[in-house]
Structures are given as structure tokens and as C-alpha cells.
DNA sequence: AATAAATCGGTATATCGGTATCGGTAAATA
DNA sequence: TATTTACCGATACCGATATACCGATTTATT
């Protein structure tokens, strides 16, 4: 099976968002050059990306059927059969994610939160109940959640990730700035703000240097 | 000047974190294979990455001086001369970022927050004062902040980004799921959770399919 | 002192993502 | 109906990144 890089895969949600907007605006057919100009991509890249996931063929001079395209991308990304998740670590970032409404559009249902802070327990954050981490192993299998969202401090990330895997989690969406060492069949996707900031910072340095000269 | 991709640059903060941990643990010298095994990278890649930013040469059979290495990476990333930023959109995510202590370690100082919600104004979040967005153009030049962190809803992202650029921002760290159309000399770094989730979701689908067969 | 082991730097190679090109074809136009 | 236009699909190309390899060198060991 072909594998896709983060960059490639990451473009599909962006296409999806635009396509949905256009479709809601009453547009039925869309062409690659149009998408390209709206998103700042090249025409060729858009066409290649769409060919990748779509079985339908585009019509010259017109483009592609938006509705079918949306379905194709959603199916490709796995948004169609919605996935269940739990979130561990209800701090600032964790709360923000629990309150993020767009996840359900992407087929992600966060069923519950977990935290070790007793003052949070049994409360509701973003409409989700918070359980103690000690109950993870007990509750997680019952929820049948495949994804564990990790928003805990880096020091405990590895330990908590193992608990989640023990409980049956198949994928970890890791927001902690820590490298996780887990069995190879577990899917780990890291979100590292420091990395993103490093890129920004470096590019800014270049831009400022160029400005000065 | 050589430019680096997100993948390449993004590894340096990860090295940095590990190196600092090791150094605090009393380790003075570190080898590429050791780093590689700790982070799950290949030995060759680590060596190449380090060669890229470090002027010192490694010693066979030993490795490199951790302290010098940390300095080299921090200098390369621009962490040494700290950069000022403001944050626009003090919602859940914005608050989480305002409360994120590690930014100052990375040389990023968030000076103030901006929001349109009157109930937030003049309060402090994460120790930072919150101003109305309408004052952006007035306050931003005085703060001399180069980076604007954008944590606003997608619908207003473009509009607010333009305000920030008007106020003198040179770089936008964009957390809104929207494509920003800005002058080419403005550095835009997008953080798109939907993209990250798409990657996770797709890989999970593959993993689950493999499991079944 | 001689040998073995580990890591380095440099280079060569392969893969991959992105870009450009080109012929074909459906739709629009005259 | 003939011609032009716009977009598609396929393929070829290019640059860059990651990987693999190899000789050199320093340290540790016997």
C-alpha cells in the first residue's frame, strides 16, 4: 500500500474545507486551477492530489463534481467511519481540544477526558466527563476508543502513553514534547509546537536579514 | 542562504530538548548513534543534522561536546536573541498558548494578547494583558513585535492577519484553519490540527486494516 | 605496543515530492 | 460544422532529502 507523507496528506483536509465551503455556496463543479488559485498551490499539484484519491475522472473545460470529490477525500482520510478518542491531560491545551467543535466534522468523537488532578474529576469540560487516570485501564476498553490524545506534561508522557496502549489504544496523538517509545504497531502522530516555532523563527531570521541588506 | 524544510528544521528542537536533559543529568559528551537510538532516527541522519549546524568536529569513539552543541543549535534556530510576539484571539487555544511556559526558553516572548470580546479586555491571561483588537494598529508598532500568533476563528483570520501586517508584523504563526493571502515578504507558518489528524487517521486506517487480515 | 572497536566525515546512491510538459478531449463559440 | 479554448491525464524531469557505504581516526583493550 502506498504511503503518503505528512505534507501530502495534510493538504487533503485543506481541500476538504474549501470544497465544503464552495458546495454550501451552491457550486457543483470545481476545476484544479480554481482550487490552486484559492489555496496558493500549483495547478499541477492539485490535479495530482485529486487524482490520487478520486476514482471519478474530471471533465475537460469543467472540472470535477464537488460532491463526489468530498466523499472521496473523506473516505480516503477515514472521516466517514467516525473514530472514537479519549483525551488524557485536561490542562490548558487539553481543555482547548475538548472544546474544539470541528473534530466531529472530521469524524473524531472525543468520548471522555482523563486527568490526575482530583479537583477536575467528574466535572465536565467541553461537554465531556473527566475521569481519573487511574481508571484508564478500566474505562478505555469499555469505550472502545482507538485514539488517545495526549496533552500531558512531557515527563509523564511515556508512562501515560503506555497506560493508554495497555487499555487498547491503537493510535496516540501526542501533543507532549517528548519522544514516545511504543510498540511498532501503534500509530504515533506528534504535534510539536517547538518544531513549528523553529521553522517560523528560522524563516523570520532569513526574511529580516534580507530586509536589512 | 540555504533554506530548510519543516521536517529538517523541526528536528532541531527535538535534539535540543534531549541534549538539555542529558546535560542536566551530567553527561558531557554525546554521540550520534546514542541520540539516534533515543529519538528513533537513523544514525546517519543525526550526524548529518549535527554537522549542518555545528562548527565543532566530533571525536571518533566519543562524540560531541553537549554544551557546545546546545549553543550551536540555539544559535542556529535564533533562540539566543529572543523574539517578541503578540497573540490575537484569546479563546481556549489562545489562552493555552498564553499559559505555555516553554516559549520563553525558545526565545519567544509573548508581550500581550488581543481579543474582540469586551469581557476579556484589560484582564490578564497567563500574566499577559489583553487589549481590544481595534487597538492593534496602535499598540503593535509600539511593542515592536515581529510575530503575530493567530488563534482566531477561520472566518476572520484573513482580516485579522492583515491588521497585524498593517501594524508591522513580519511573521504570522497561524493556528486558524484558513489559507492566508498576504504579501510575499510576510512569513506564514501554518499549524493545522486537521492536517495532523488526517495523517493520524489515515495511518490508523492502514494499521487497522493490516491487523484484520 | 599491537589490535580491536566505535564513531567520525565525506561521498555516492536511491527515493520522493514537486514541477513542467504535452497530447487528448469535451465544451464553448462562431 | 469547424475552430478555439480550457482542463484533464500521463509522463518525464528536477532538486532535495534520506540512506547507505567507506576510509580515516581516535580511544579502549589485551
How does pLDDT run across A169-187, given as a tens digit for each residue? 999 999 999 899 999 889 9
| 3-state SS assignment for residue B192 | coil
Strand C closer than 7 A to residue A45 Cβ: yes
Rounded average pLDDT over A16-43 = 93
- Residue B101's pLDDT band (boundaries 50, 70, 90)? confident
Would you tell me the crossing angle of helices B43-53 and B32-39 to the nearest 10 degrees? 120
Name beta bridge partners: B188: B172
B142, with CB counted inside 10 A (0-12, 13-18, 19+), is: exposed
Mean pLDDT to the nearest integer, B38-66: 93
Q: How far is A11 from chain B (nearest CA, A)?
A: 7
Backbone phi, psi, residue A10, to 5°: -65, -20
How many Å apart are B44 CA and D19 C1'?
8
The whole-angstrom separation of Cα A106 and Cα B87 is 27
CB count in 10 Å sphere of residue A40: 10
- What pLDDT, on the 0 to 100 scale, is given for residue A141? 93
- CB under 8 Å to B67, separation ≥6 — which residues? B23, B28
Classified as helix, coil or strand, A117 is coil
Other CB atoms within 10 Å distance of the CB of residue A19: 21
B44 beta carbon to strand D: under 7 Å: yes
Residue A127 exposed, middle or buried by CB count within 10 Å (0-12, 13-18, 19+): exposed
pLDDT at A211 exceeding the cut of 80: no
What's the confidence (pLDDT) of residue A88?
A: 98
The CA distance from B24 to B42, in Å, is 24
Distances (CA, A) of A77 to A4, A67, A74, B192: 11, 16, 5, 15
B60 with B47: CB under 8 angstroms? no
Instruction: Tell me what pLDDT residue A213 has.
Output: 59
Interface contact A175, partner B, CB < 8 A: no
Query: What is the H or E stretch that residue A161 is in?
Result: helix A154-166
Mean residue pLDDT of chain A comes to 91
Helix-then-strand count for chain B, H and E: 9, 9
For residues B140-156, give the mean pLDDT: 95
In this structure, are residues A192 and B106 in contact, taking their beta carbons and an 8 Å threshold? no
Tell me which chain B residue has its CA closest to the CA of residue A125: B92
Owner of C-alpha cell 502513553 = A161
Q: Please state, in angstroms and as integers, the Cα–Cα distance from residue B80 to each residue in B83, B85, B106, B129, B162, following that order.
A: 9, 15, 8, 25, 29
Q: What is the predicted pLDDT for the residue at B213?
A: 59
CA count, 13 A, side-chain hemisphere, B15: 35
Are A147 and A168 in contact, with CB atoms under 8 Å apart?
A: no
Contact residues for A135 (Cβ-Cβ < 8 A; gap 6+) = A114
Cβ atoms of residues B110 and B128 within 8 Å: yes
| Interface contact flag, A14 B181, Cβ < 8 Å | no
Gap between the Cα atoms of A51 and A65, Å rounded:
13
Chain D positions with an atom below 7 A of a protein C-beta are 5-11, 16-21, 24-28
Question: In the beta sheet, which residues pair with residue A131?
Answer: A114
Of A79-83, A177-181, B154-158, the range with the lowest mean pLDDT is A79-83
Q: Which phi and psi angles does A130 have, rounded to 5°?
A: -110, 125
Amino acid at each position: 500500500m502506498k504511503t503518503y507523507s505528512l505534507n501530502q496528506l495534510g493538504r487533503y483536509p485543506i481541500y476538504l474545507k474549501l470544497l465544503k465551503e464552495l458546495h454550501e455556496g451552491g457550486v457543483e463543479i470545481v476545476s484544479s486551477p480554481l482550487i490552486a488559485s484559492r489555496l496558493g498551490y500549483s495547478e499541477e499539484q492539485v490535479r495530482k492530489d485529486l487524482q490520487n484519491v478520486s476514482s471519478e475522472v474530471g471533465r475537460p473545460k469543467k472540472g470535477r463534481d464537488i460532491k463526489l470529490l468530498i466523499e472521496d477525500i473523506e473516505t480516503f482520510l477515514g472521516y466517514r467511519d467516525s473514530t472514537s478518542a479519549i483525551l488524557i491531560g485536561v490542562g490548558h491545551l487539553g481543555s482547548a481540544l475538548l472544546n474544539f467543535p470541528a473534530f466531529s466534522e472530521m469524524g473524531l468523537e472525543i468520548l471522555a477526558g482523563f486527568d490526575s488532578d482530583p479537583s477536575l474529576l467528574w466535572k465536565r469540560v467541553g461537554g465531556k466527563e473527566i475521569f481519573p487516570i487511574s481508571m484508564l485501564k478500566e474505562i478505555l476498553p469499555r469505550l472502545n476508543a482507538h485514539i488517545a490524545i495526549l496533552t500531558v506534561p512531557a515527563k509523564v508522557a511515556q508512562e501515560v502513553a503506555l497506560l493508554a496502549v495497555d487499555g487498547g489504544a491503537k493510535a496516540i496523538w501526542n501533543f507532549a514534547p517528548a519522544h514516545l517509545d511504543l510498540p511498532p504497531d501503534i500509530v504515533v502522530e506528534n504535534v510539536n509546537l517547538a518544531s513549528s516555532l523553529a521553522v517560523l523563527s528560522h524563516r523570520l531570521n532569513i526574511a529580516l536579514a534580507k530586509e536589512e541588506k
